[in-house]
Structure 1
């Protein structure tokens, strides 16, 4: 997504050191997909560690952007790492609630995901363990960096209400955050709709520095 859309190239022209981290089992990455589990989170953890050690990157000015499953991974990793800014687009933040809604007629589990989901829940030892590994809401007290949350009002894969809940809880604990509900968008919010607020948000928080990697 970040490569094919030209986002990385655009970021580079604006002075950012911008990278995309492919999660296990997706794209050209090795390994089995674990649906936002620890293998995926450790990939982003490793990326952050690597870039923090580079002499040409200011470790205090690293921002993370995640979309869909990537938003879930980004949120979980940010809850245990110091980053300067966090952007979450079309993510889920309560795994169990999402899975329960997928069992109703209104919500649509993405094709090809059901077997992967069932496999990972079994490997984790049940839905409660899977939820603990993939749910950001219990960890939001650790989110102290500014957060931009974007969701599609017509999303029938992940309830935008999860993003609204995250926004409300962040507000309640005093974490600076912005919530944007794109009322006409589904799960796959067009880049043209989220790109400008994402750029403005990151520019405000990462400007006047050596630019930093984004997920």
Structure 2
């Protein structure tokens, strides 16, 4: 894990950072990790969640990792995923708000069209707070299916999405499995798991996010990912630190 631009001690401005900038940062983090003396560079995997899953697909397609875990990733063009998410989130809002579906939908279309026409990193859309237009423009045209089809056959893939995810289509798991050419592709559609990787037995809605964020990430999910990675990224017989100690006089 690492802090994104503008967070913690990482320099930069998050609101001006593009979608491809985030992917380049992830690639740089991987190179830094692989160069560490206690790390075997040929046994480095990546776990990506939400947007991170999209970047994990690209890193795998570019032969930068030995294994990849996709948590809540989609298999479609960004704009299609954005529209699915908007409809899904809207469906979980209170009934009085849902009655405004038509005017709010028209407003959303105008906002989307305005974002596509922008050329600056940050833009104020429809009088709203400034948005990261740079990130939005790049995300909307990004098609994850290209990367999924380019994942090397030797790279194992684990894809997990909760069946109560309102931000990513759970059905895209089947498309991920179909597109990835390798034989070691495992998918899990986890009952009651939300986009936040916490379980919720109630009706899926973003209104539950504040409550769910006070809970830990689902322990069964952590066990699944850890065990899957342990098997695919087996430790070599001798660790790098042992080799260094053996070379000392």
Instruction: Give the TM-score of the pair, scaled to structure 1.
Output: 0.71
For residues 116-161 of structure 1, the C-alpha deviation after alignment (integer angstroms, 9 at most, x for no partner) is x9697544789885444x3321122321210100001011111112
The answer to whether the 8 A contact 2:63-2:151 is kept is: no
- Aligned to 1:66, the other structure's residue is in SS state strand
Structure 1 49/195 Cα, relative in aligned 2: closer, same or farther at 3 Å?
Answer: same
- Aligned to 1:160, the other structure's residue is in SS state coil
Structure 1 161/23 Cα, relative in aligned 2: closer, same or farther at 3 Å?
Answer: farther
The answer to whether the 8 A contact 1:36-1:72 is kept is: no
- Name the structure 2 match of 1:37: 19
Root-mean-square deviation (CA, aligned residues, Å) is 3.1
Instruction: Give the TM-score of the pair, scaled to structure 2.
Output: 0.62
Which of 226, 232, 235 lines up with 1:199 in the alignment?
Answer: 226
- Higher alpha-carbon deviation: 28-37 or 143-152: 28-37
Q: Does 1:23 align with 2:31?
A: no
For residues 141-192 of structure 1, the C-alpha deviation after alignment (integer angstroms, 9 at most, x for no partner) is 321210100001011111112233112222xx33411101112112112331
Count of residues paired in the alignment:
182
Structure 1 197/103 Cα, relative in aligned 2: closer, same or farther at 3 Å?
Answer: closer
Structure showing greater relative contact order (alpha-carbon pairs closer than 8 Å, 6 or more residues apart): 1
- Name the structure 2 match of 1:157: 167
Structure 2 residues without counterparts, runs of 5 or longer: 92-107, 120-132, 199-216, 241-249
Which of 55, 64, 72 lines up with 2:46 in the alignment?
Answer: 64
Distance 2:151 2:6 in 1: 28
- Aligned to 2:14, the other structure's residue is in SS state coil
| Aligned ranges 1:47-86 → 2 under 5 Å | 47-86=29-68
Compare CA radii of gyration and give the structure with the larger one.
Answer: 2
The answer to whether the 8 A contact 1:36-1:70 is kept is: no
Structure 1 residues without counterparts, runs of 5 or longer: 1-19
